[in-house]
């Protein structure tokens, strides 16, 4: 019984909520895109907006294989984070999508 309680507490502690991720990413709003690149590295994709701003995309994927041989199963978990900048390179929006736990591990 103690082991089950410990595992339940351990699993609950490792879960992250959408609100927590939103809050962590909102800390980038108002900062410069160069600062973001210095900490996150080069984005995996960019999109030029008509207003002169950019959307900087960071995508991370984790591939998990369980089992072996013919019974092996492979699944993937992805996280995508998009930062939108204004024409001056200031971040005006940050949003994420995908698996919350993967995003939690992907955010520096």
Q: Which residue bears the tokens 């929006």?
A: 93
Provide the pLDDT for residue 10.
Answer: 34
Instruction: Look up the domain containing 89 and give its range.
Output: 17-106
- Mean pLDDT in the chain? 86
2 domain residue, yes or no = no
7 domain residue, yes or no = no
Q: How confident is the model at residue 40 (pLDDT cuts 50, 70, 90)?
A: very high
- Residue 65: left if φ>0, alpha if ψ -120 to 50, beta else—which one? beta
Mean pLDDT, residues 74-94:
95
The pTM score is 0.79
52 domain residue, yes or no = yes
């Amino acid at each position: 019984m103690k082991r089950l309680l410990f595992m339940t507490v351990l699993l609950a502690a490792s879960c992250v909520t959408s609100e927590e991720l939103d809050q962590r990413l909102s800390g980038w709003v108002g900062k410069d895109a160069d600062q973001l690149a210095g900490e996150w590295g080069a984005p995996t994709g960019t999109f030029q907006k008509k207003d002169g701003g950019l959307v900087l995309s960071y995508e991370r994927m984790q591939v998990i294989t369980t089992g072996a041989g013919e019974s092996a199963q492979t699944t993937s978990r992805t996280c995508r984070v998009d930062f939108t900048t204004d024409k001056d390179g200031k971040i005006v929006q940050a949003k994420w999508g995908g698996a919350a736990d993967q995003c939690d591990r992907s955010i520096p």
